Amino acid sequence: MTQLARKLRVVDYFTLGWGTMVGVGWLVVMDDWLGRGGPLGGVLGFAIGGVLLLPIGYIYGQLVAAMPDAAGEIAYTAKVFPQAVSYATGWMMFLAYFIVCPWEAVALGRIAAFIFPRLDTFEIYRVAGRPVYLPHLALGLGLTALLTLLNYRGIRLSATFQNWTTFAVLGLFVIFVSFGAAHGSARNFPPLFSHTPFISVLLVLQIVPYFMTGFESVAKSAEEASPEFRSGGFFRAIVLAIVVGVLFYTIVIAAVAWASAWQKLPGGAFSTAVAFERALHARWIVSVILGAALLSLLKVFNGNFVASSRLLFALGRRGMVEPRLGQVHPRNQTPAVAVVWVGIATAAIMLAGEAILVPITEVGSVASALGWMAACASYYRMRPLPLRRAVAVVGVLVAIGMVLMKALPFIPGHFSLYEWIALAAWVALGCTLHRRTAEAAQAASSLET
């Protein structure tokens, strides 16, 4: 059987983990972040969330070193739990990665229209009252096709693309934050919280799982490590991705509030760019920020495309969904069928336009937390040393807390009816696909006998 190509190094795993995590939320929905928590609430929410994720990152580092399997959480849970638990975990984690792809495809149109306002023309329909423009769709579909082709051709090509875009974003980030720091003022910070301090931090903490999902994507490409790669590199890449991710998010929130009075920033109009433009009274800083955002969009789209296609490939290879999804291209050594289907599904969902942006954030957070909880629980069941079992317990409790923040109706910021419907629809789709696959396999077995 053709195997996946083994070509990835430690730096590739870091750019995959961090690049899959940090997208364009810091530009596209900064107004939502500040509205939830205010500047200090936003900083504390991401900082606390990042610290809470470190035990989970540690557990993933141990698991991927012991089981370098593209199935990730599917493989971990399969070792100690029934197949139903394994499939449910894999299906939810697939949602966590996959749903980012149409999010980024839609965000591309918003960013491009901010640069070229004429792109907000040729409205073809509306979803939830929001217009969908033909140029936006064309850009999103074009980028989806490009990344599908890139990942179809080979992991080395995709990893090189990920490396260049990741380090370019970090370089541009340093530039615009430095200039913003030189022209802003601490007088712009008050009020520090948008609600009471506790509620402000809580509302931000609820979305941290979505915007910090990605560090564990390292596991999904574990089978593609180069022959010289040492297993300890997985742990280093995961922890570094979490730490750099937390620093990025907290610094950019503080920088926006430092640059301009955050309550006076326009909602839904790229508050980050507006804040820096007001501070410097110059348009060039907007170009730098938008350049960083576009590169960030490309890398996070590509990173989540890699992770979601590998998980879908793993589900197919294990016979949990259509087995043909588990095929490897004989020449490119890529999960070609899974790659194509992720591209097609991304294109289909992005047709909903901007109406999907915030709801995706909410549902993706719960899906990620459920996957983290299952991975930590699996590690606990494997009976490691007592201290490591204690870390696994902490990871489980953190993940449960993140799920309950969205599930319990008396907690501010809980799921709305539409988000419950979206989650239920995803669960129903997963059950249907799994049942049909099982029935087809049973029918084929009966014919053979």
β-strand 123-127 against 130-133: which pairing, if any? antiparallel
Under 8 Å between Cβ of 153 and 334:
yes
The span from the CA of 66 to the CA of 76, in Å, is 10
pLDDT at 415: 85
| pTM assigned to the model | 0.89
What local confidence, expressed as pLDDT, does residue 359 receive? 64
Task: Give the separation between CA 246 and CA 86, rounded to whole angstroms.
Answer: 30
Please give the average pLDDT of every successive group of 10 residues along the chain, which has 449 residues.
82 94 86 92 95 94 92 94 93 91 87 85 85 90 94 90 94 92 90 93 88 89 91 93 96 94 81 90 90 92 93 93 91 93 93 71 82 95 91 94 87 82 89 88 73
The 8 Å CB, 24+ separation contacts for 379-383 are: 379/59, 379/62, 379/63, 379/76, 381/80, 381/81, 382/79, 382/80
Question: How far is 304 from 310, CA to CA, in rounded Å?
Answer: 10
pLDDT computed for residue 86 by the predictor: 94
Measured CA to CA, the distance from residue 442 to residue 438 in angstroms comes to 6
**Can you list the alpha helix ranges (DSSP code H) found in 260-356?**
271-280, 284-317, 336-349
pLDDT (0 to 100) of residue 412: 79
Task: Give how far Cα 45 sits from Cα of 23, 49, 126, 249, 251, Å.
Answer: 18, 6, 34, 10, 12
Cis previous bond, 191, omega within 30: yes
The conformation of residue 2, written as its DSSP 8-state character, comes to: P
HSE (side-chain half, CA atoms, 13 Å) at 5 = 20
- Three-class DSSP category at 119: helix
**Which superfamily does CATH assign the domain made up of 10-442 to?**
Amino acid/polyamine transporter I (1.20.1740.10)
pLDDT score of 366: 87
- At residue 225, the 3 state secondary structure works out as strand
Q: What is the pLDDT of residue 269?
A: 67
| Dihedral pair phi/psi, residue 416, rounded to 5° | -90, 175
Tell me the two tokens of residue 403.
């799920």
Query: In what helix (H) or strand (E) does residue 127 lie, and over which residues does it extend?
Result: strand 123-127
User: Would you state the pLDDT for residue 358?
Assistant: 61
Q: What is the pLDDT of residues 205-241, one digit of tens each?
A: 988 887 888 899 999 999 999 999 998 999 999 999 9
